[in-house]
């Protein structure tokens, strides 16, 4: 059994879906499970739908219609017969989405987010499954929520591995072509949960682990793992072999090519991960496996944008010691801040965080009760693995450095 993952960029339109078919024809599709993301920028569009539900009710239905229209255009490009069953299946999903907003009583943004954001994946996989069937590439559509079971930590749920293993082992037929959704799961009450933004890679790894798959392939619009994101850095180089350890480090620091949790289940069973181009599927790509480190002379650059740098100092110039630091981290956990860098001295403490849940003001209010607080929003966090002096110099050029931290193999710089 092999596991393939196709992201939103690979199925952003009808031609993308047709290209997916060509990839399967070139590399084979027997005994394969395919994990698919929402099409194109659908997740962003769905986030706007959710925002309208909370903040602009009159715009809610029109924003749903925009998402529906986008998918309907893809359907019309793929299916000549408008009476094909796929039209009614997709329509049913959008009716279900609208119905949820009509009957929902919960004011919890995170709960509402998870109940609705995944319709992009449900629709995309339905379209692709039916299109493959139309071309005689017979497959089974799986609702991933019946397989991956989690807690109810909405928007970043934790997998219940024991139940997930049982469900996948019992329900997944490994002798056929299967198609399912990335990013989603469900809790003990069968409410939909999500595994974190860009979590489809992790979904592929979960299935691979539970199925003892021979490999996982992530199909991207780049030739493989690069030493830098070409969108932000010039002259990016491809890395052809990476160890699990190095890949986990890169993912932890924010390399966009892999979800941070993806490598752990694969490494534990030594399942190789391939990152390949869906535009050139027969090229070698990048292989992540045991014991093959990248060349340490190649610096790897990673950037996280829209971060917040919070700097704390004691009100009475007393030391910030273990008790204070413990309290600070309890508050960061309470307000669901994702911590990326910390730095402290005798009377100061700085932390760079990702405010993905929008709790910054609440956190700052709480911190000001005991500390002198300053903060910078919309800063960028740059990380260089295997840095050298020239790499640091180039990165710092024309930037205002707010925080800098070096270890033996990694430098992190927060800048404006």
Q: Dihedral of the CA atoms 166, 168, 174, 180 (nearest 10)?
A: 180
Q: What are phi and psi of 313, to 5 degrees?
A: -140, 155
Spell out the alpha helix ranges (H) of 288-383.
322-334, 360-367
3-state secondary structure 184-250: EEECCCCCEEECCCCCHHHHHHHHHHHHCCCEEEEEECCCCEECCCCCCCCCCCEECEEEHHHHHHH
- Give yes or no for a contact between 211 and 3, defined as CB atoms under 8 angstroms apart: yes
- Which two tokens mark 126? 């339905």
Separation in Å, CA 276 to CA 217, 245, 259, 283, 302: 7, 20, 15, 7, 20
Checking DSSP bridges between strand 192-194 and strand 184-186, what pairing results, if any? Answer: antiparallel
Checking DSSP bridges between strand 348-354 and strand 300-314, what pairing results, if any? Answer: antiparallel
- Give yes or no for a contact between 150 and 186, defined as CB atoms under 8 angstroms apart: yes
Name residues whose C-beta falls within 8 Å of residue 10's C-beta, 6 or more positions apart in sequence: 16, 19, 20, 219, 220, 221, 278
Ligand-binding annotation for 99, yes or no, is no
- Give yes or no for a contact between 46 and 117, defined as CB atoms under 8 angstroms apart: yes
Identify the residue whose tokens are 């994946």: 121
- Which two tokens mark 259? 């979800």
Comparing CA positions, the residue from 287, 265, 266 lying closest to residue 276 is 287
- Which two tokens mark 115? 């109940």
Q: Which residues are annotated as a binding site for ATP?
A: 231
Q: Which residues are annotated as a binding site?
A: 231
């Amino acid at each position: 059994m092999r596991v393939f993952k196709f992201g939103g960029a690979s199925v952003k339109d009808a031609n993308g879906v047709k290209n997916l078919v060509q990839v399967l024809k070139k590399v084979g599709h027997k005994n394969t499970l395919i994990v698919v993301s929402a099409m194109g920028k659908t997740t962003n569009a769905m986030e706007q739908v959710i925002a309208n539900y909370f903040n602009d009710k009159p715009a809610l239905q029109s924003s749903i219609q925009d998402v529906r229209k986008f998918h309907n255009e893809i359907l019309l490009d793929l299916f000549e017969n408008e009476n094909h069953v796929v039209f009614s299946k997709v329509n049913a999903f959008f009716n279900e989405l609208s119905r949820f907003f009509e009957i929902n009583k919960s004011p919890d943004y995170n709960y509402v987010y998870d109940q609705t954001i995944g319709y992009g994946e449900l629709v995309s996989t339905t379209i692709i499954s039916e299109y493959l069937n139309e071309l005689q590439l017979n497959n089974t559509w799986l609702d991933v929520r019946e397989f991956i079971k989690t807690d109810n930590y909405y928007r970043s749920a934790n997998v219940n591995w024991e139940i997930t293993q049982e469900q996948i082992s019992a329900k997944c037929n490994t002798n056929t072509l299967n198609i399912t959704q990335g990013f989603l799961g469900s809790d003990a009450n069968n409410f939909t949960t999500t595994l974190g933004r860009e979590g489809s890679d992790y979904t592929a790894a979960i299935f691979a682990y539970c199925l003892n798959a021979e490999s996982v392939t992530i199909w991207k619009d780049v030739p493989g793992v690069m030493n830098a994101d070409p969108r932000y850095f010039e002259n990016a180089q491809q890395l052809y072999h990476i160890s699990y350890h190095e890949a986990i480090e890169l993912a932890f620091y924010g390399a966009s090519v892999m979800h941070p949790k993806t490598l752990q289940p694969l490494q534990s069973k030594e399942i190789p991960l391939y990152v390949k181009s869906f535009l050139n599927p027969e090229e070698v790509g990048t292989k992540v496996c045991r014991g093959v480190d990248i060349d340490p002379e190649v610096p790897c650059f990673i950037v996280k944008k829209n971060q917040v740098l919070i700097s704390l100092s004691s009100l009475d110039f007393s030391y910030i010691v273990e008790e204070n630091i413990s309290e600070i981290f309890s508050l960061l956990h309470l307000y669901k801040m994702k911590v990326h860098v910390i730095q402290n001295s005798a009377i100061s403490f700085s932390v760079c965080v990702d405010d993905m849940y929008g709790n910054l003001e609440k956190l700052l209010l709480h911190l000001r009760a005991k500390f002198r607080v300053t903060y910078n929003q919309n800063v960028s966090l740059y990380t260089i693995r295997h840095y050298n002096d020239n790499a640091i110099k180039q990165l710092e050029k024309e930037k205002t450095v707010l925080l800098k931290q070096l270890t033996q193999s990694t430098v992190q710089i927060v800048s404006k």
